[in-house]
Amino acid sequence: MTFEWSGVMPALTTKFTEKDGLDLDMFRINLKSQMEAGVSGIVLGGTLGEASTLEASEKKVLVETAVEYVNNKIPVIINIAEQSTKGAIEAAENAMEYGASGLMLLPPMRYKADSFETVTYLKAIAQSTNLPIMIYNNPVDYGIDVTPDMFKELLSCENIQAVKESTRDISNITRLRNRFGKRLKILTGVDTLGMESLLMGADGWVAGLVCAFPRETVAIYELVKAGKIENALAIYRWFLPLLELDISPQLVQNIKLAEVATGIGTEKVRAPRLPLRGDERQRVLKIIEEGLKNRPELPQYKVENKTIHNPV
């Protein structure tokens, strides 16, 4: 499948059963909501997907289930976050075998590689596959910054096409655009900078709270791209307290609670993560409840050739 690195691409949570297996029924329910809202692709096995706790066999099931369900309507992208180059290349080969449309690629995990090591690692994986690649640049959480100078080297690989920009430096979007033009597609990866990033020219949004609120997220994107800034801003201002649940060490637990509240997820996480408890749980629930109580009626927004109205 060919596709553009643009639009809203949910970083989906992984649904688990009471017995700690994959909850594929709820996974499909969430996928249905995302597609009906008009997302342009999905990302599996990222931070929100609890990738570090997933077995290789579970990643296979998730990708194959998603590929079957979306039926070539939107691309399925799988995250690669490995400790070794060998392991990452194997994961890329598996992704192609399972039917994935593209890869999201992190620098080496655990070991803090220098710039030369990081570029060598990323290029080795890119050269091992024909799948299009989005580099996930998140130095805040993962400790390695993929700088513009590093991207200059990386872009010699034609299939490195995009960046999930999560530096939390809004000026980095302009910095990258000035240097690389449209050769490097830019998707924001920070929910609390979602609209700001789109206004600065980002091509898309790899979003988190979209897992619970798909229509609102897609509406913001579509309205910004249509130049309807005031309409988008009204939704975004309502959304911000919820979006702030994404910038937390407990973002998985937070967003899964929100999915429960909107009926398209469960609270189950995989140990060592545990469900929220005590005062923190009540704080998060209060934010979610306040958001639902004041949930806005959406204006019309365009998704391809469809007009979607109403967030329910």
- Taking residues 133-154, report their average pLDDT: 96
pLDDT: which is higher, 109 or 43: 43
| C-alpha span between 59 and 56 (Å, rounded) | 5
- 85-136 confidence digits (pLDDT tens): 999 999 999 999 999 999 999 999 988 999 999 999 999 999 999 999 999 9
Residue 310 confidence class, pLDDT cut points 50, 70, 90:
very low
**Which one-letter DSSP state was computed for residue 283?**
H
DSSP H or E segment with residue 102: strand 102-105
Read off the tokens for 206: 């790899």
Q: For position 309, what pLDDT does the model report?
A: 52
List the Cα angle 166/172/176 in 5-degree steps: 110
Q: For position 110, what pLDDT does the model report?
A: 84
**Looking at this protein, which amino acid is placed at residue 215?**
R
- 224-283 confidence digits (pLDDT tens): 999 999 999 999 999 999 999 999 999 999 999 999 999 999 999 999 999 999 999 999
Residue 13 near residue 50, CB atoms below 8 Å: yes
Query: Is pLDDT above 80 for 77?
Result: yes
Q: For position 278, what pLDDT does the model report?
A: 98
Q: What is the pTM of this model?
A: 0.95
Q: For position 307, what pLDDT does the model report?
A: 57
Read off the tokens for 151: 């991207």
pLDDT > 90 in the chain, percent: 93
| C-alpha span between 176 and 71 (Å, rounded) | 34
Q: What is the DSSP string of 155-210?
A: TTSTTEEEEEE-SS-THHHHHHHHHHGGGSEEEE--GGGHHHHHHTT-SEEEESGG
**Please, what is the end-to-end C-alpha distance for the chain in angstroms?**
31
Query: Is pLDDT above 90 for 295?
Result: yes
- Taking residues 191-207, report their average pLDDT: 98
Residue 300 confidence class, pLDDT cut points 50, 70, 90:
confident
pLDDT: which is higher, 302 or 258: 258
Q: For position 311, what pLDDT does the model report?
A: 40
What angle, 0 to 180 degrees and rounded to 10, lies between the N-to-C axes of helices 85-98 and 56-70?
A: 30
Domains and CATH numbers, the chain: 7-308 (3.20.20.70)
- Taking residues 123-151, report their average pLDDT: 97
- 212-225 confidence digits (pLDDT tens): 999 999 999 999 99
**Which one-letter DSSP state was computed for residue 229?**
H
Q: What is the mean pLDDT of the chain?
A: 95
DSSP H or E segment with residue 96: helix 85-98
